[in-house]
Each structure stands twice: as C-alpha cells, then as structure tokens.
Structure 1
C-alpha cells in the first residue's frame, strides 16, 4: 500500500542519482537531489491564499 504523500505526486522523480548517464557532469547528481528536495517541500500558506484569491476572480 502506498502512502497518501505518494498518491499526490503527478510525476515520479527518482529520489537518487542512479538515473545519471555516464556523460553527465559530476554536479548533475547534486543538482537532481536539490531539485527533488524542492519538489518535496510543502506549498507555503501565503501561496495557497494567493491561488485561492486568483481562483475566486476567474469568473469576473
């Protein structure tokens, strides 16, 4: 059974650098780990509020 956190992800991004290609530069695996960590961060409440306000103004 998967957790609800896994169910919310739209696209699966590898959590390790095993998907690097031999021709990738050394810094590529670090950059991929950083990108993955940013994807896992929750959306700040201020952004959620802003999106809600923008959704409310869509029909006007």
Structure 2
C-alpha cells in the first residue's frame, strides 16, 4: 500500500521538475521560442497595429 504522504511528495517533485526552466520541457519550449522569435512579423499584423495606433491617436484628439 502506498502511503498518502509519500505519494504527494513525489507528485510535487514531478511538478517542480516539469516547470524547471533547465529541464527537458523548459529546453524544448526555449527552442520553440527561439525559432518563433527570429521569424518576421507578418505584414497583416503590422497593418492592424498601424490601424490601432491611428484609432488611438484619433480618440485622443490627435491628428
């Protein structure tokens, strides 16, 4: 029979390991981020951001 206290500690250690930035999950997420970070911003997103800036300037009474 498994003692409840030991089972909880093992689960907490597993959770900490899963969120360790230097663990396998953290390294994989970092590699994904590094690839995405180097991709150019899509023109459509830049257009939308420009429209948002224009709308904010108009709402503040700017030109």
TM superposition score category, shorter chain reference: 0.5 to 0.7
Q: Partner of 1:52 in structure 2?
A: 50
Give 1 or 2: higher helix fraction. Answer: 2
Q: Deviations over 1:3-49 (max 9, x none)?
A: xxxxxxxxxxxxxxxxxxxx832222121111111111110010000
Cα offset, 1:58, TM superposition: 1.3
- Provide the aligned C-alpha RMSD in A: 2.2
Q: CA deviation at 1:52?
A: 0.7
Aligned length: 39
Query: Based on CA coordinates, which of the two structures has the bigger radius of gyration?
Result: 2
**Residue segments in structure 2 that go unaligned for 5+ positions in a row:** 1-20, 59-63
- Give the gaps of 5 or more residues in structure 1: 1-22
State the structure with bigger RCO (CA 8 A, min sep 6), 1 or 2: 1
Equivalent in the alignment of 2:25 = 27
Question: How far has the Cα of 1:59 moved from its partner?
Answer: 2.0
